[in-house]
Structure 1
Amino acid sequence: MNHIEGEAIAPATFPSLRGRRVFITGGGSGIGAAMVTAFARQGAHVAFIDIAEEPSAALAARLVDEALPAPWWRGCDVRDVSALQNAIRDAAASIGDFHVLVNNVASDDRHTLDAVSAEYYDQRIAINQRPAFFAIQAVVPGMRQLGGGAIVNLGSIGWQAKSGGYPCYAIAKSAVNGLTRGLARELGASRIRINTVSPGWVMTQRQIDLWLDAEGEKELARNQCLPDRVQPDDIANMVLFLASDQARTCTAQEFVVDAGWL
């Protein structure tokens, strides 16, 4: 039976995720918060970082209100590689080495070619590209100790659809597939899987507030094959699958969740 928009969808259950330890970057709001919540509801032990401390604290409180274990979290600016890696190591020291890493943190602030300075370019790369590499570097030793793991890197369809308005973001997100495929063989020898999930236009509150105007509605209708808006939970569901043992032979791949935009 087809899903009707607005109708609640029963979440899938992945028994292999129960008790697994998961680290998520940019987990305080939006897609990241949906993933933190989804993993916690699967019975996983979740740790996350985010530069925005107020929504992060509110998310942690909501999970406790659901009678779920309080997540480990820390305010962290991922442009500081030492702070990023120290957070991962401190979280691992607190709850144990991680079975799963989700590289989610990103910022799609708009900018034009002419307005980009060298300093701004470096800042965009420091948020949107560099953290994924150094987070992987920090978690892999623990995954090897555990005998395997799963890494999910968040990409984007924006650069593939040739969207304008954020060339530095497009450059960074186009590199995600290179990171995934470039590490798959090396990590695979240790049974560490690595994949990309590329969202379409996801209806986070930020996207709705900043860019979902009348023209945006027309763009959705024109480009998506499916009429339903992509929600943060849709991305979380794909990430759950790739983190689970049900995806045990999936690696070096890109999984697109975009309602048929590409």
Structure 2
Amino acid sequence: MTQFAHYPSLKGKTVFITGGASGIGAEITKAFAAQGARMGFVDFDRTTAEALANDTAGDIAFEFCDLRDIDALRAAFAKLAERLGPATILVNNAARDDRHGWQDVTPDYWDERQNTNLRHMFFAIQAVAPGMIAAGGGSIINMSSNSWREAVGGMPAYVTAKAAVEGLTRTMARDLGPHRIRVNTVVPGWVMTERQKTLWATPEALEKHRQGQCLPDLIDPVYLARMVLFLASDDAAMCTANAYMVEAGSI
């Protein structure tokens, strides 16, 4: 059985995460709660989110939010702060990798995909950064994707947004660094969430993907959560403006 690390520096910290109800986000939510953090998350799936909040031990709070609505995001974070205190850790996780052909993309669809996968990340940072500054520092982790590095096709709006996440990380690390706020990117490979298994993880697709990985094992969401915990902890105090790969050596 794998033995994972415990981070004393995370105990009592207030953490906000977007898209924390399922998939990678749920693993991150549970991982922080297990470290003794005060965990607040927003999500669009009310039923799944409420079940996770009820079934997870610890100080955990949920607010419903459609992240495409920035005013709703700000309001949800304000409610979480009232309950848990201002966040000193933010995980920008929410995204949807819906497939789409380049021929069919309209301007409205393109904008909606950027609003779903990128725009809210900046405004989440903008919402929590003043509290982090007041606290003397913090950690922000933005979730990207290895899809653009692998030149994956079939979803150009999603892949473009995920490439832009790394640019957002770099510029915000520079702007917020003087306040001892660290900003990093976590870059997943193909992670075996229930969504991936249901929609796209056919035996043929999995075998082809294994051949492109250095490691033979498929990636469980728990390993993304472990990287996020490290980057949020004091162990990563000198880590900022960088991308941390959890992709089993995919090419």
What range is the shorter-chain TM-score in? over 0.9
Instruction: Report the counterpart of residue 26 of structure 1 in structure 2.
Output: 19
Distance, in Å, in 2 between the alignment partners of 1:208 and 1:124 is 22
What is the aligned counterpart of 1:44 among 27, 37, 40? Answer: 37
What is the aligned counterpart of 1:175 among 164, 171, 178? Answer: 164
Instruction: Report the counterpart of residue 160 of structure 1 in structure 2.
Output: 149
Instruction: Report the counterpart of residue 244 of structure 2 in structure 1.
Output: 255
Distance, in Å, in 2 between the alignment partners of 1:201 and 1:90 is 34
SS of equivalent to 1:40: helix
Measured after TM superposition, the shift of residue 60 of structure 1 is 1.0
Q: Could you list the per-position Cα deviations for residues 195-248 of structure 1 after superposition, in whole angstroms to 9, with x for gaps in the alignment?
A: 000000000000001111122122222111101111110000000000000000
Gaps of 5+ in 1: 1-7
TM-score by length of 1: 0.94
TM-score by length of 2: 0.98
Instruction: Report the counterpart of residue 102 of structure 1 in structure 2.
Output: 91
Cα contact 2:214–2:249 (8 A) shared by 1: yes
Cα contact 1:180–1:195 (8 A) shared by 2: yes
Cα contact 2:37–2:59 (8 A) shared by 1: no
What is the aligned counterpart of 2:54 among 39, 51, 61? Answer: 61
Instruction: Report the counterpart of residue 3 of structure 1 in structure 2.
Output: none
What is the aligned counterpart of 2:8 among 8, 15, 25? Answer: 15
Instruction: Report the counterpart of residue 129 of structure 2 in structure 1.
Output: 140
What is the aligned counterpart of 1:117 among 101, 106, 121? Answer: 106
CA RMSD of aligned residues (A): 0.8
Distance, in Å, in 2 between the alignment partners of 1:208 and 1:70 is 31
Measured after TM superposition, the shift of residue 184 of structure 1 is 1.0
Distance, in Å, in 1 between the alignment partners of 2:14 and 2:208 is 39
Distance, in Å, in 2 between the alignment partners of 1:145 and 1:93 is 16
What code does the residue aligned with 1:43 have?
A: G
What code does the residue aligned with 1:26 have?
A: G
Distance, in Å, in 1 between the alignment partners of 2:204 and 2:37 is 40
Gaps of 5+ in 2: none
Moved more, 222-231 or 18-27: 222-231
Cα contact 1:60–1:70 (8 A) shared by 2: no
- Are 1:184 and 2:173 an aligned pair? yes
What is the aligned counterpart of 1:242 among 231, 235, 241? Answer: 231
Distance, in Å, in 1 between the alignment partners of 2:78 and 2:167 is 25
Q: Could you list the per-position Cα deviations for residues 182-205 of structure 1 after superposition, in whole angstroms to 9, with x for gaps in the alignment?
A: 111210000000000000000000
Distance, in Å, in 1 between the alignment partners of 2:203 and 2:14 is 42
Q: Could you list the per-position Cα deviations for residues 118-167 of structure 1 after superposition, in whole angstroms to 9, with x for gaps in the alignment?
A: 11111100000101000000000000111000000000000110011100
Instruction: Report the counterpart of residue 73 of structure 2 in structure 1.
Output: 84
Moved more, 10-19 or 133-142: 10-19
Measured after TM superposition, the shift of residue 70 of structure 1 is 4.4
What code does the residue aligned with 2:133 have?
A: R
Cα contact 2:19–2:94 (8 A) shared by 1: yes
Cα contact 1:61–1:70 (8 A) shared by 2: no
Cα contact 1:155–1:197 (8 A) shared by 2: yes
Distance, in Å, in 1 between the alignment partners of 2:78 and 2:208 is 43
Instruction: Report the counterpart of residue 5 of structure 1 in structure 2.
Output: none
Cα contact 2:21–2:49 (8 A) shared by 1: yes
Q: How many residues align?
A: 251
SS of equivalent to 1:114: helix
Measured after TM superposition, the shift of residue 71 of structure 1 is 1.2
SS of equivalent to 2:171: helix
What code does the residue aligned with 1:56 have?
A: A
Distance, in Å, in 2 between the alignment partners of 1:38 and 1:218 is 29
